[in-house]
Amino acid sequence: MHVRHLSLVDFRSYAVAELPLAPGVTTIMGLNGQGKTNLVEALGYVATLGSHRVATDQPLVRFGASQAVIRAVVVRHDRETLIELEITPGKANRAKIARSTVSRTRDVLGTLRTVLFAPEDLALVKGDPAGRRAFLDDLLVARQPRWAGVRQDYDRILKQRNALLKQSAAALRGAGGGAGGGPRGRSSGQRHQAEPDSSQASALHTLDVWNTHLADVGSQLLYARLRLLRDLTPLLAAAYEEVSASQATTTATYRASLSEPLSAAIAAGAVPEVEQVRAGLLDAFEEHRRAEVERGVSLVGPHRDDVQLALGPLPAKGYASHGEAWSLALGLKLAAYQLLRRDLGDDPVLVLDDVFAELDTERRERLAALVSDCEQVLVTAAVGADVPDRLRARGVTYMVTLGEVTRVD
């Protein structure tokens, strides 16, 4: 698929912008702070209904305006679809597909698919585990929308369980402390001597219920992540090798917060059945109960897992050079691109935001070669010379100056 036209009204720094696009490569050049990234951010918004830079909509609307509008004409298999989005901070956004208003904005999802690589993605390699988990989960949702619901259910159950751990800390501590426990009369505020015991039993029983539900949903999520990673790893290795021409083997190891031997098997690349994962989670809850009660948070489950990326024998985080980390992050995004392309039988739109400046000449050329068969690629760069000639020769170049977009030939 590709985008034939992008137009913006009061979006970020643009009062009005019209950007005709075509298959092939579009290079967007401009000095810092002129609004290059804003253009690709708008495109990303049409695809994901979110920005890769900010969590709220307010900064997306031009200062002083109340509403931003993004219009994009998406072409897939020679069929054009016009998507219009009105972003009104503080209110529900509105969406139109082919000029008719859709009842739910999220109906727009799936019409345009993009894979965006931006400087922020360096955090996939160097940053916290949360970023890597989000990368996997977002990709799951992009492939199959139903995972959005599973993810949401998991977060809700987790919140309830954490609330329970905090609230019932006193009761659970007595229960988790093993047989004999502490002196029973300690809670002197209680009217009856027998009450601590029954509240222990009740708190344990309730915790058990939440354990079951967290394990039910958590095992599905974990299983899905493992299958995704199994599909993604060879693509990652290939993409990294092609970008970097390095002999170092890339590995992505899933670090599950489960107990041995299951987590060791998972780290070794095995994908256990959902039922096994579920049992593993339940065992791990039992094992960590004391620590969970002490700290009042859930310490086991997909929300505590990580994906360890490594180049050869060394973990990328901490050991990889800046260029290597950059290439690895790029490799992850390119692998995601390949996976979606395979699923869809169609090319997503590839967006490379400010990528080339960070790569050496050789890697630039390799990346240019790698993306040469993509249907549509959008590239932003501050310095035109950073973008390999062979890439710019495949399409048009725009220059952005103070929110004005002009074509350069």
Q: Closer CB to another protein, residue 62 or residue 161?
A: 161
Q: C-beta of 17: minimal distance to another protein in Å?
A: 32
Q: Closer CB to another protein, residue 205 or residue 407?
A: 205
Q: C-beta of 209: minimal distance to another protein in Å?
A: 5
Q: C-beta of 78: minimal distance to another protein in Å?
A: 24
Q: C-beta of 190: minimal distance to another protein in Å?
A: 13
Helix, strand, or coil (residue 390)? helix
Q: Closer CB to another protein, residue 53 or residue 213?
A: 213
| Lookup: tokens for 387 | 């973008």
State which H helix or E strand residue 350 sits in. Answer: strand 349-353
Q: Which phi and psi angles does 26 have, rounded to 5°?
A: -115, 120
Label each residue of 70-127 as H, E or C: EEEEEEECCEEEEEEEEECCCCCCEEEECCEECCCHHHHECCECEEEECHHHHHHHHC
Distances in Å between the Cα of 103 and the Cα atoms of 25, 100, 261, 273 are 35, 10, 48, 38
Q: Closer CB to another protein, residue 205 or residue 342?
A: 205
Q: C-beta of 382: minimal distance to another protein in Å?
A: 41
Q: C-beta of 166: minimal distance to another protein in Å?
A: 8
Neighbours of 51 (CB within 10 A): 18
Neighbours of 18 (CB within 10 A): 11
User: What is the 8-class DSSP label of residue 294?
Assistant: H
| Lookup: tokens for 77 | 């298999």
Label each residue of 167-231 as H, E or C: HCHHHHHHHHCCCCCCCHHHCCCCCCCCHHHHHHHHHHHHHHHHHHHHHHHHHHHHHHHHHHHHH
Helix, strand, or coil (residue 308)? strand
Q: Closer CB to another protein, residue 160 or residue 259?
A: 160
Q: C-beta of 212: minimal distance to another protein in Å?
A: 6
Q: Which phi and psi angles does 11 have, rounded to 5°?
A: -100, 125
Q: Closer CB to another protein, residue 54 or residue 209?
A: 209
- Specify which residues 81 forms β-bridges with: 74
Q: Closer CB to another protein, residue 145 or residue 312?
A: 145
Q: Binding residues for another protein, per CB under 8 A? A: 107, 145, 153, 156-157, 159-161, 163-164, 167-168, 199, 202-203, 205-206, 208-210, 212-213
Q: C-beta of 236: minimal distance to another protein in Å?
A: 31
Q: Closer CB to another protein, residue 212 or residue 246?
A: 212
Residues of 325-335 as b/e, b for ≥16 C-beta within 10 angstroms? Answer: bbbbbbbbbbb
Q: C-beta of 231: minimal distance to another protein in Å?
A: 24
Q: Closer CB to another protein, residue 38 or residue 211?
A: 211
